[in-house]
Amino acid sequence: MRAQRKNCEATWECRCSGGMDCNCVSDLLLTPPVPTLWTPGIAFPDWAYKPESSPGSRQIQLWHFILELLQKEEYQGVIAWQGDYGEFVIKDPDEVARLWGIRKCKPHMNYDKLSRALRYYYNKRILHKTKGKRFTYKFNFSKVVLVNYPLLDMASSPFLLAQNHFNGGAATPDCSPVTPEALQSLFPRLPESGRGPSLFERSAGAPGPDGDKLRLDTFPFLGSGAPCYSKPPSLLGPYPRNPSFDYPWGFNPYLPGAFSLNNCPKLPPGSLYSSHFYPNPLQSSLSQLSHPFSSLLPPGDTTGADRGQTGGTNGSAGGQPPRLCIPPYPGSLPLGRTELGNGGTGVGDRERGEINAGVIGGGLSLGLGLGLGLGGVSMGSGGGGRQSPSERRKGVKQDPESDSELEITDLSDCSSENENEPDFSLGKESGLGGRSHLLEAKSGGLGGVLPPLSSLPPPVSPHPLKSLGPLTPPPSSLPPSLSPSLTTVDRHRETETLKLAHS
DNA sequence: CCCGGAATTC
DNA sequence: GAATTCCGGG
């Protein structure tokens, strides 16, 4: 190993040792090969790449990397969005592997290994394979969001939960939506106006634990779930990447027309999302998070929404809100359109369960690392003791656990959409036995692993947050129809559920 | 190709 | 925790 590392350093000029990340490839992807979209520094907060800055392993994660590539035009020939939203194809596996190897200073990286790492995301539900299509995978954006915004999630548990309709959208007092103040406190660094390159950036040396986490500008797709774009960018034609922005994912929240591009229709004024998702200044957007979230709730209750728009946000008032939405590409999330926006109509898009994440763009904070979030939280327990091999064999996996916490996503998706996928990963998961144990053990009912399904009805306390305790409110029953998309999803879930039942 | 277990590394 | 590396199996 050592030798290898050396080799790495020598050959790749990487300094991968110690806490430093590999500078090596910084120029590869971090610097502006794609000037228009990329601004070094904006893309990912530096700290995101520095392990020392954050707890746990925090180097760039593969999926972040994939998104990076996906975002750059120059890599279109290597990897590109294709198919459904969130779906991408690795056109040149070897090259992607090579790039990844460079980034991670793993000269011996190859597609086989990379794909293993990708598979590793299956359990986490961050990705899943599109069956039948070679080198084709699909992001589960909602998951991504959760992973990246655990804090957000927690703070505004209602938000995601609502979207997932896990909690029925009813915000209980406990989970009151985040108020602007709260947000501020959570993210002190929130820029007041304008926008910083990052919402939450950690100052160089002082990372506040709280400080890191959210960057709304980084995630284009977040809204994910809802298909804002029906097609991948590539299919969209020359999608206009907003030229003037350097937002990381090519998505600029502030861009007034962010949505206009094509697929993302602007939201109707009254749409639930309008204010939140396209909030004006970032700041306001954040501050509005509360409503947004709350507004996700039952349509009937417009109060929240109103509040948001009216009072809250001035920003939007007149103008057009800058949107935090998605970019033209796949990643870009889909928010709106469908689902929320119109009530039920629309949606012709195929929706999958990813709806949830209605989040806003954000940054990649690196996943589960913060420890706060859903994921992070409970992980501790599980991870505490290393499992002995034998234990592992029993099916007690760590991963799954983590997922379960996060699991808000859809399974439907996971099972590879339309492809007839007979199994939900469960089946295959090694030893059913083990898995099932997990399920039962997990937050009662929610089924950690396959949450969606079984948990559909159960209001469930968002187990994801279970560890958070207080934060997570008791879910109320969900209103059957939070949004059209949900409905769709439900359908999926039900189906899945049925399957489960059978098994 | 793809999958997932196991061991190992960082 | 998140890979990386091996690897047997489909």
What's the pLDDT at A90? 94
How many Å from the CA of A118 to C1' of C7?
Answer: 17
Nucleotide nearest to A401 (CA to C1'): C1
- Per-residue confidence at A400, pLDDT binned at 50, 70, 90? very low
A222, two tokens: 């977040």
In the three-class reduction of DSSP (H, G, I as helix; E, B as strand; rest coil), residue A136 is classed as strand
Return positions of chain C under 7 A from a protein CB.
1-7
Nucleotide nearest to A94 (CA to C1'): B1
How many Å from the CA of A4 to C1' of B3?
Answer: 28
Among A473, A419, A397, A450, CA closest to A161? A473
- Residue range A265-282, pLDDT digits in tens: 233 333 323 333 322 322
Is the C-beta atom of A124 closer than 7 angstroms to strand C? Answer: yes
Q: Is A118 a residue whose pLDDT tops 70?
A: yes
Name the strands in the sheet holding A127-129, side by side, starting at the edge strand that comes first in the sequence.
Answer: A79-81, A87-90, A136-139, A127-129
- Per-residue confidence at A14, pLDDT binned at 50, 70, 90? low
**For residues A208 and A45, is the Cβ–Cβ distance under 8 A?**
no
Report which of residues 370-399 in chain A place their beta carbon less than 7 angstroms from any atom of strand C: 375-376, 379-380, 382-383, 398
Cβ neighbours, 10 Å, residue A34 = 18
Is the C-beta atom of A108 closer than 7 angstroms to strand B? Answer: no
Q: Is A84 a residue whose pLDDT tops 60?
A: yes
Q: Is A116 a residue whose pLDDT tops 50?
A: yes
DSSP secondary structure string for all residues of A74-93: GGTTTEEE-SSTTEEEES-H
* Strands A127-129 and A136-139, sheet pairing: antiparallel
How many Å from the CA of A271 to C1' of B1?
Answer: 44
- Per-residue confidence at A484, pLDDT binned at 50, 70, 90? very low
For residues A465 and A450, what is the distance between their CA atoms, to the nearest angstrom? Answer: 16
Among A45, A136, A124, CA closest to A414? A124
- Per-residue confidence at A89, pLDDT binned at 50, 70, 90? very high
How many Å from the CA of A91 to C1' of C2?
Answer: 24
How many Å from the CA of A111 to C1' of C3?
Answer: 14
- Per-residue confidence at A142, pLDDT binned at 50, 70, 90? confident
- Which region, left, alpha or beta, applies to residue A160 given φ > 0 means left and ψ of -120 to 50 means alpha? alpha
- Per-residue confidence at A71, pLDDT binned at 50, 70, 90? confident
Work out the percent of chain A whose per-residue pLDDT is above 70: 17
What's the pLDDT at A148? 63
Which helix (H) or strand (E) segment holds residue A249: the answer is: none
- Per-residue confidence at A151, pLDDT binned at 50, 70, 90? low
- Per-residue confidence at A81, pLDDT binned at 50, 70, 90? very high
What's the pLDDT at A114? 95
- Residue range A438-473, pLDDT digits in tens: 333 333 333 333 333 333 333 333 333 333 333 333
Report which of residues 77-106 in chain A place their beta carbon less than 7 angstroms from any atom of strand B: 93
For residues A288 and A391, what is the distance between their CA atoms, to the nearest angstrom? Answer: 46
Q: Is A75 a residue whose pLDDT tops 90?
A: yes
- Per-residue confidence at A152, pLDDT binned at 50, 70, 90? low
The whole-number average pLDDT for the span A291-302 is 36
Return positions of chain B under 7 A from a protein CB.
1-7, 9-10
What's the pLDDT at A85? 79
Report which of residues 296-355 in chain A place their beta carbon less than 7 angstroms from any atom of strand B: none
Residues 6+ apart with CB under 8 A from A414: A122, A125, A128, A140, A424, A425
Instruction: List helix spans (H) across A195-244.
Output: 233-236
For residues A326 and A182, what is the distance between their CA atoms, to the nearest angstrom? Answer: 25
What's the pLDDT at A277? 31
Q: Which residues of A115-152 are buried (b: 16+ CB within 10 A; e: fewer)?
A: bebbeebbbbbbbbbbeeeebbbbbbbbbbbbbbbbbb
Largest Cα span, chain A: 64
The whole-number average pLDDT for the span A407-425 is 39
Find and give the residue nearest to C4, measured CA to C1'.
Answer: A113
Q: Is A18 a residue whose pLDDT tops 70?
A: no
DSSP A185: H
**For residues A338 and A146, is the Cβ–Cβ distance under 8 A?**
no
Is the C-beta atom of A129 closer than 7 angstroms to strand B? Answer: yes
Work out the angle between the directed axes of helices A374-384 and A141-148 (0-180°, nearest 10): 80
How many Å from the CA of A101 to C1' of C1?
Answer: 19
A401, two tokens: 């656990």
Find and give the residue nearest to B8, measured CA to C1'.
Answer: A1
Give A70 or A203, the one with higher predicted confidence.
A70
Give me chain A's average pLDDT, please: 46
- Residue range A251-261, pLDDT digits in tens: 333 333 232 22
CA angle A180, A184, A188 (to 5 degrees): 165
Among the ranges A69-83, A155-169, A422-436, which has the highest mean pLDDT value?
A: A69-83
Q: Is A143 a residue whose pLDDT tops 50?
A: yes
**For residues A193 and A205, is the Cβ–Cβ distance under 8 A?**
no
Is the C-beta atom of A116 closer than 7 angstroms to strand B? Answer: yes
The whole-number average pLDDT for the span A389-397 is 41
Please give the single-letter amino acid code of residue A427. Answer: G
Record the pTM: 0.42
Q: Is A475 a residue whose pLDDT tops 90?
A: no
